[in-house]
Every structure is written in C-alpha cells, then in structure tokens.
Amino acid sequence: MVQPVRNKKIKQVKGNSQRSPKNRKHKEYGTSKLEERFAKDFLDKLGVEYQYQYKAEEIGRYYDFCVTLPSGSKTLLEIDGDYFHSYGLQHEQKNPMQKHNEYVDRIKDEWALMHGIPIIRIWEHDINNNPSKVMKTLKEMLGEYDEKNKKKKDKNRRH
C-alpha cells in the first residue's frame, strides 16, 4: 500500500533557529534532538556506520537510521518518542496525530518485513531511563559490529 507524500513546506519559527529548515540534517523532515543524542550515545560508541533519514522510495517514507553491517546487509532503526508514538495508550485513547503515526509505523514495519530488512524500534523512555537495555538490544541485533570491535580490541591487546 502506497501512502501519498505531502509536500508541505516547513515554516521557520522565529526565535528557534535550532529547528529551522536550513539547520536540519534532512530539510523536509529533520532529525530530532533525541535522534542526534541516540546516534552519539549508542551508534557512535558502537562504531556503527549509519545513515540518517533512510528513504523507502516505494512508500515515500523515511526511517530514522539505516545501519549497514560489515556483511553489507542493512538494519533499520526507528526512535519512537513516547508522546508522538503514544507509548502505553490504547487505540481509543490516542489523538488523531498519534493514530496517524501508528498507521505510518505499521506501513513502515510491513515494508521492512516485505524486503527482509530487520527493523529495531527503540522507545524514548528506554533511551532516557534504561540505556543499558538499549545498548544490549543494539549489540544483540547488530552483533556483527560487536564481533568486529572485539577482534580489533583483541588485536590491539596483543601488540
């Protein structure tokens, strides 16, 4: 199922230059502060190669990160904000924006599944309150990097 992409222009908000379109990594959708912190605190520490805002052309949607493993395979990462992705709420408790995000997330999950690309969804509250759980999940899912880094460390210890 293809969802239409709306080409809305982002309005520049006065007094908030951090969020203006010209300062965003991806001008149409942007990269949130949470995503930037996630990349710094987790992906960079793991030595992972990644791309911000990976576009699935067929559905016109972006994934927060695409990690390329040493084998060449890809894994998609989505950082889900607790409010925007309605953590802990039942469907009838969600506002229209949250229901729309739930729909889009389902489309993105289905696209990844159809293409055999693993997707990892990580919640904001886990990033903020349980970073060891997040790191453990990433190490398990991105095991090739963990093995690659262990080999480098072992090699350095011998020299």
Regarding predicted confidence, which is higher, 92 or 159?
Answer: 92
CA 52 to chain centre: 8
Share of residues in the chain with pLDDT > 90 (%): 37
pTM above 0.85, yes or no: no
Q: Write down the residue that tokens 């994934």 correspond to.
A: 63
Least confident of 5-19, 73-87, 89-103: 5-19
Among the listed residues 143, 157, 159, 151, the one whose alpha carbon sits nearest the alpha carbon of residue 70: 143
Buried b (16+ CB within 10 A) or exposed e, 30-61: bbbebbeebbeebbeebebebebbbebeebeb
Q: Tell me the three state secondary structure of residue 50.
A: strand
> Does residue 61 register a pLDDT over 60?
yes
114, 127, 104, 11 alpha-carbon torsion, rounded to 10°: -130
Q: Which amino acid is at 5?
A: V
> Does residue 7 register a pLDDT over 80?
no
Q: In whole angstroms, how far apart are CA 108 and each of 17, 114, 124, 135, 159?
A: 30, 10, 18, 23, 46
Residue ranges and CATH numbers for the domains of the chain are: 37-154 (3.40.960)
Please compute the mean of the pLDDT values over residues 70-79 and round it to a whole number.
89
